Amino acid sequence: MSIMMPAADQAVLARRAEIVAALRAIVPGEGVIDSAAEMLAYESDGLTAYRQPPMVVVLPDTTEQVAKVLKYCQGQGIKVVPRGSGTSLSGGALPLADGVLLGLGKFKRIREIDFDNRVVVTEPGVTNLAISQAVAHAGFYYAPDPSSQIACSIGGNVAENSGGVHCLKYGMTTNNVLGCEIVLMSGEILRIGGKSAENAGYDLMGIITGSEGLLGVITEITVRILQKPETARALMVGFAEVEAAGECVARIIGAGIIPGGMEMMDKPAIHAAEAFVHAGYPLDVEALLIIELDGPQIEVDELIARVESIAKGCGSVTLQISNSEAERNLFWAGRKAAFPAVGRISPDYLCMDGTIPRGALPKALARIRELSEKYGLGVANVFHAGDGNLHPLILYDANKPGEIEKAEAFGADILRCCVELGGVLTGEHGVGIEKRDLMPEMFTEIDLNQQQRLKCAFDAEGLLNPGKVFPTLHRCAELGRVHVHAGKLAFPDIPRF
């Protein structure tokens, strides 16, 4: 006996088949994935607590194909979620059941290396580390270096304004991106910025960087590359108290010393990283600072002596200075592997991302300890200590009923604490869906409405990555719609892009 499918379900399947056929006409061959099994690879990003298969996946490999896909979807009222490598830790690339997931993994070419202007023009699917590898032979590198740099894409870095262990001295992604090509939901292709460090008019690159895929799809990026410093050495400094390590960070910055990187790990993170990498970390300390100093050798030698004096004045109990490039890299290897290493001590963990003023670090650490006791969950702390970017890793077991809910409540309280201490909800992971409902903790309704007006200027129908960032998304007509057309906003004083 056959079972008749309801007419409504038949209509949904027919509509999906129509969309898949239209996308295959735009991106032929293997550019469209619509089988349930194959789409499982796209159902989540690095924030694995949330999973949702998309309606269909499309993998264009040219800007023109991206433009046609977006134009078609806008005309049909279809939602689109852009995706890079899927390493996001805020749910920013989480698909929608009724939306197209637009993957940019085929955009993996470096289009130009210009050493004279010290820039690289790259497609968004190129990994962060691949840019540095492409210019290493000439003594150059790309400074922002997230822990996931071996896998994360430069397009995703721009979308989330990613940082890394060396962002203290050399800046976040926004400080190292000069231009981009972006496709609007309408299919319009815009070029913003270029090879020069400064451009006239509004800081549109500042708007695009960190916009989390809500404004457009980036198909080309121009990044700044830097010459490798003459000398780089790292100090590994252990403390008997986490608060003493926090005080050391404050004193180093207060002395006018800006290290290339300054990272902190607490005892659980130290033990996990050492067991994973065998970097020679001291296991009898409560906190470990890794401090890198770079520049001319005479300057580095002087700064090492000053930092060593400050560390001893703060009560350091161990202090080791790298004497070779291999040893410096080993110091960093444990820190960069800290996230996967924590997977050895807990079945699951939730990686938080908030930022506080450096001087508030001891208060934040004390509050995290209190919250750990309150929720009965462990925590391993890994920080970009120099710029106050906290990454508490909340340890839980998803197989135990209620633990994921406790972990999320714990994380939300950490982020509220960051705001209370004068900080912000995110340092580099973005808002996505993880912090979406916490936005009112930091922004007033007026603030959020103004941000949404900017969203409306680029995506009037709200089809790009909907459900992310804003706890309540208003219709553009309710806010007073503005719209980008022919490469400019509908205001006479805003110049053409």
pTM of the model: 0.90
- Closest by CA to 144, choosing from 433, 349, 389, 342, is 389
- Closest by CA to 371, choosing from 406, 339, 399, is 406
Amino acid 327: pLDDT: 96
Distance CA 360, CA 418 (A): 9
Query: Is the pLDDT reported for residue 77 higher than 90?
Result: yes
Structural domain contains residue 464 = yes
Examine the domain organization and report whether 251 and 170 are in the same domain. Answer: no
Structural domain contains residue 264 = yes
Examine the domain organization and report whether 411 and 481 are in the same domain. Answer: no
Structural domain contains residue 477 = yes
Structural domain contains residue 147 = yes
Examine the domain organization and report whether 270 and 298 are in the same domain. Answer: yes
CATH number assigned to the domain comprising residue 362: 3.30.70.2740
Per-residue pLDDT, averaged over 196-209, amounts to 85
Examine the domain organization and report whether 375 and 357 are in the same domain. Answer: yes
Tens of pLDDT, residues 5-16: 676 688 888 999
Structural domain contains residue 22 = no
Examine the domain organization and report whether 79 and 96 are in the same domain. Answer: yes
* Domain coverage including residue 51: 31-103
Examine the domain organization and report whether 219 and 126 are in the same domain. Answer: yes
Place of tokens 């706890």: 471
Query: Is the pLDDT reported for residue 483 higher than 50?
Result: no
Q: Could you give the number of structural domains in the chain?
A: 5
Instruction: Answer whether 439's CB lies under 8 Å from 467's CB.
Output: no
Domain boundary among 344, 367, 402: 344
Q: Which helix (H) or strand (E) holds 370?
A: helix 361-375
Per-residue pLDDT, averaged over 250-266, amounts to 94
Tens of pLDDT, residues 356-402: 998 888 889 889 999 999 999 999 999 898 889 999 999 999 999 99
Examine the domain organization and report whether 212 and 133 are in the same domain. Answer: yes
Domain boundary among 103, 130, 150: 103
Structural domain contains residue 497 = no
CA atoms within 13 A on the CB side of 273: 27
Lowest mean pLDDT among 126-130, 253-257, 356-360, 397-401: 356-360
Examine the domain organization and report whether 311 and 214 are in the same domain. Answer: no
For residue 489, name the pLDDT band (cuts at 50, 70, 90).
very low
Percentage of the chain exceeding pLDDT 90 = 83
Query: Is the pLDDT reported for residue 485 higher than 60?
Result: no
Tens of pLDDT, residues 299-351: 999 999 999 999 999 999 999 999 999 999 999 999 989 988 998 889 999 99
Domain boundary among 314, 344, 374: 344
Structural domain contains residue 5 = no
